[in-house]
């Protein structure tokens, strides 16, 4: 069975910014089958739970990786470094386990795949990936929203 990187919040771990989980039956099934490599990039990057909501300002995860955008929380604090550190740790975990796929939390500034919040803290979405999803894609790992 091939290992799959899974966002910890989808696996039932209460690590989201609001201190809750966003449990997914698919993710729990992967955990129960012993296939999941469970990680929360934001916690791995040193952020607390709970924490202020954060969004990518000025682009998407690819732009953050390239230094053209930042991750800022609702208080205005720049948390780009923590998001980059967490993304690198998630990639390292995937590579160590041999995971070539990832099931990630939708719309997240870390794990969002295909659509993320637009940086205005209004609930509006824009096309793009979160920081972790972008780094995983760069490494050839297939990502999908859970």
pTM: 0.96
Tell the residue number behind the tokens 């096309």, with chain if given.
127
Question: What is the 3 state secondary structure string of the chain?
Answer: CCCEEEEHHHHCCCCCCCCCCCCCHHHHHHHHCCCEEEECHHHHCCCCCCCCCEEEECCCHHHHHCCCCEEEECCCCECHHHHHHHHHHHHHHHHHHCCCEEEECCECCCCCCCEEECCCCCCCEEECCCHHHHHHHHCCCEEEEC
State the Cα–Cα distance between residues 88 and 123, nearest whole angstrom. Answer: 27
Q: Report the pLDDT value the prediction gives residue 125, as an integer from 0 to 100.
A: 97
Segments of the chain with pLDDT less than 50: none
Q: Report the pLDDT value the prediction gives residue 1, as an integer from 0 to 100.
A: 82
Which residue range forms the structural domain that includes residue 20?
Answer: 4-145
Number of domains comprising the chain: 1
């Amino acid at each position: 069975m091939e290992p799959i990187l899974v966002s910890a919040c989808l696996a039932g771990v209460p690590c989201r910014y609001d201190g809750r989980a966003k449990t997914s039956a698919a993710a729990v099934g992967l955990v129960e089958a012993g296939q999941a490599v469970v990680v929360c990039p934001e916690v791995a990057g040193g952020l607390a739970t709970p924490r202020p909501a954060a969004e990518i300002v000025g682009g998407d995860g690819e732009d953050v990786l390239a230094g053209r955008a930042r991750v800022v929380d609702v208080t205005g604090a720049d948390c780009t470094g923590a998001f980059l550190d967490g993304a690198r740790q998630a990639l390292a975990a995937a590579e160590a386990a041999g995971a070539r796929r990832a099931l990630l939390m939708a719309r997240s500034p870390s794990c969002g795949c295909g659509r993320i919040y637009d940086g205005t803290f209004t609930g509006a979405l824009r096309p793009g990936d979160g920081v972790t999803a972008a780094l995983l894609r760069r490494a050839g790992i297939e990502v999908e929203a859970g």
